[in-house]
């Protein structure tokens, strides 16, 4: 069966394409290559360069390739950028997603998997956060994603569409076989930045805020390995295909690490004591956010395989070295 993967040339989407192919599904990638790479999509997948918000294009792709499900990854994902450019985020993440959902409804595609985010919860300092916790995003990014969750719920109530919302915590690492990884230029995410500092790709790095009400004063996050996250999408697809109802799941390991701990793990794994500067807080950052993942384990039967921060960092280091050889 053919699955349309928007953003399939990006970091998480390219791992989804591999997971689909490993399971014998056909992947059709739609990506505008704004941040993704054509080379991230292997020859076994169909690649179309275009905009997922172009409803007519999406409807043609669905008809031509016999698409039965959509996994929607394409998005802008940088919290501080969303604070500076909210309308860009609402256009790309929210308005265009409306067109994509409309294309699904118009063509009778009944299964939709949406990449949402733990940023919909806002500050979750009280401990592991469950899916029914209050939704109070602290950034335009979080709000741009939450609005799509609401659109999906309303659309599923009115039309023959069922969906799974996956709320990602902090995604990191790379395909353990080395087939894919994070190639994003000008990456801002912590593990990627720290790994680049360790390998001399940047002179050092900054820690944004040491005065949070957390054990060491830096923010706590729940880092999930990217192939485990792709597997969650495979499990979600199997769940929808089995006829189950729409549902929302956290994707995280349930373990928080501070920014300082992550930096220490990268230093230990690389053996490089790169320069780290303490700077003020970054706009839009909640102090702590850790997943309660009991629902995805119970309902989807999701079983993480790579829940080990030091192994995740090693994968990221290996991928960054490979990238360096390709793009010195």
- Alpha carbon distances (Å) from 176 to 36, 49, 206: 20, 27, 28
**Is the separation of the CB atoms in 131 and 248 below 8 Å?**
yes
Piece of 20-28, 60-68, 189-197, 226-234 that binds ligand UDP (CB under 6 A): 189-197
Considering only 45, 48, 79, 174, the residue that binds ligand UDP (CB under 6 A) is: 79
**Is the separation of the CB atoms in 161 and 155 below 8 Å?**
yes
**To the nearest whole angstrom, how small is the minimum distance from the Cβ of residue 208 to ligand UDP?**
4
Residue 285 in the binding site for ligand UDP (CB under 6 A): yes
Considering only 205, 237, 288, 291, the residue that binds ligand UDP (CB under 6 A) is: 205
Distance CA 41, CA 13 (A): 9
Q: Please say which residue, 145 or 221, places its beta carbon nearer to ligand UDP.
A: 221
Tell me, rounded to whole angstroms, the distance of Cα 7 from its chain centroid: 10
> Which of 223, 214, 287 lies closest to 253, judged by CA?
223
Residue 303 φ/ψ, nearest 5 degrees: -130, 100
Whether 168 is catalytic is: no
| Residues that contact ligand UDP, how many (by CB under 6 A) | 15
Residue 129 in the binding site for ligand UDP (CB under 6 A): no
> Which of 11, 6, 9 lies closest to 192, judged by CA?
11
Residue 291 in the binding site for ligand UDP (CB under 6 A): no
Strand partners of residue 165: 114, 248
Piece of 46-54, 107-115, 182-190, 227-235 that binds ligand UDP (CB under 6 A): 182-190
Piece of 173-181, 201-209, 244-252, 290-298 that binds ligand UDP (CB under 6 A): 201-209
40 secondary structure, DSSP code: G
Considering only 100, 138, 219, 229, the residue that binds ligand UDP (CB under 6 A) is: 219
Residue nearest to ligand UDP (CB): 219
**Is the separation of the CB atoms in 150 and 156 below 8 Å?**
no
In the chain, the DSSP E strands lie at 2-6, 26-31, 46-49, 67-72, 111-117, 162-168, 170-172, 205-208, 220-221, 223-225, 247-251, 257-258, 276-279, 288-289
- Alpha carbon distances (Å) from 287 to 33, 99, 206, 210, 282: 32, 34, 16, 10, 11
Residue 207 in the binding site for ligand UDP (CB under 6 A): yes
**To the nearest whole angstrom, how small is the minimum distance from the Cβ of residue 171 to ligand UDP?**
9
Piece of 44-52, 97-105, 127-135, 204-212 that binds ligand UDP (CB under 6 A): 204-212
Q: Please say which residue, 208 or 274, places its beta carbon nearer to ligand UDP.
A: 208
Distance CA 319, CA 33 (A): 20
Residue 143 in the binding site for ligand UDP (CB under 6 A): no
Q: Please say which residue, 104 or 269, places its beta carbon nearer to ligand UDP.
A: 269
Cβ burial, residue 109 (10 Å; 0-12/13-18/19+): buried
**Of 89, 121, 141, 257, which is the active-site residue?**
141
Residue 48 in the binding site for ligand UDP (CB under 6 A): no
Residue 76 in the binding site for ligand UDP (CB under 6 A): no
Considering only 60, 98, 244, 282, the residue that binds ligand UDP (CB under 6 A) is: 282
Residues 149-178 that bind ligand UDP (CB under 6 A): 170
Piece of 98-106, 175-183, 187-195, 233-241 that binds ligand UDP (CB under 6 A): 187-195
**DSSP secondary structure of 256-300:** -EEHHHHHHHHHHHHT----EEEEPPPTT--SEE-B--HHIIIII
Q: Which residues are catalytic?
A: 141
Which parts of this chain interact with ligand UDP (CB under 6 A)? Answer: 79, 170, 188-190, 193, 205-208, 219, 221, 259, 282, 285
């Amino acid at each position: 069966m053919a699955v349309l993967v928007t953003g399939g040339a990006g970091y998480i989407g390219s791992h989804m394409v591999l997971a689909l192919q490993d399971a014998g599904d056909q992947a059709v990638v739609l990506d505008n290559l704004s941040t993704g790479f054509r080379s991230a999509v292997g020859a076994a997948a169909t690649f179309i360069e275009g905009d997922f918000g172009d409803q007519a294009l999406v409807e043609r792709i669905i008809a031509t390739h016999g698409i039965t499900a959509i996994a929607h990854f394409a998005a802008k994902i940088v919290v501080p950028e969303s604070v500076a450019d909210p309308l860009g985020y609402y256009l790309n993440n929210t308005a265009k997603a409306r067109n994509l959902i409309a294309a699904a409804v118009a063509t009778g595609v009944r299964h939709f998997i949406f990449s949402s985010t733990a940023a919909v919860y806002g500050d979750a300092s009280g401990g592991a956060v469950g899916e029914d916790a209050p939704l109070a995003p602290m950034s335009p990014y979080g709000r741009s994603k939450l609005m799509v969750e609401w659109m999906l719920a309303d659309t599923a109530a009115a039309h023959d569409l069922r969906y799974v919302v996956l709320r990602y915590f902090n995604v990191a690492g790379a395909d353990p076989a080395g087939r894919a990884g994070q190639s994003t230029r000008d990456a801002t995410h912590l593990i990627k930045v720290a790994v680049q500092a360790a390998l001399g790709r940047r002179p050092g790095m900054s820690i944004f805020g040491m005065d949070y009400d957390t054990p060491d004063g830096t923010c706590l996050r729940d880092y999930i390995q990217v192939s485990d996250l792709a597997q969650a999408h495979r499990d979600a697809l199997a769940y929808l295909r089995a006829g189950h109802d729409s549902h929302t799941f956290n994707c995280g390991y349930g373990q928080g690490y501070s920014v300082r701990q992550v930096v220490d793990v990268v230093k230990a794994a690389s053996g490089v004591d790169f320069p780290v500067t303490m700077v003020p807080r970054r706009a839009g950052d909640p102090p702590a956010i850790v997943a309660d993942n009991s629902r995805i384990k119970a309902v989807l039967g999701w079983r993480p395989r790579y829940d080990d921060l030091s192994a995740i960092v090693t994968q990221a280091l290996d991928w960054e070295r490979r990238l360096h050889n390709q793009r010195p």
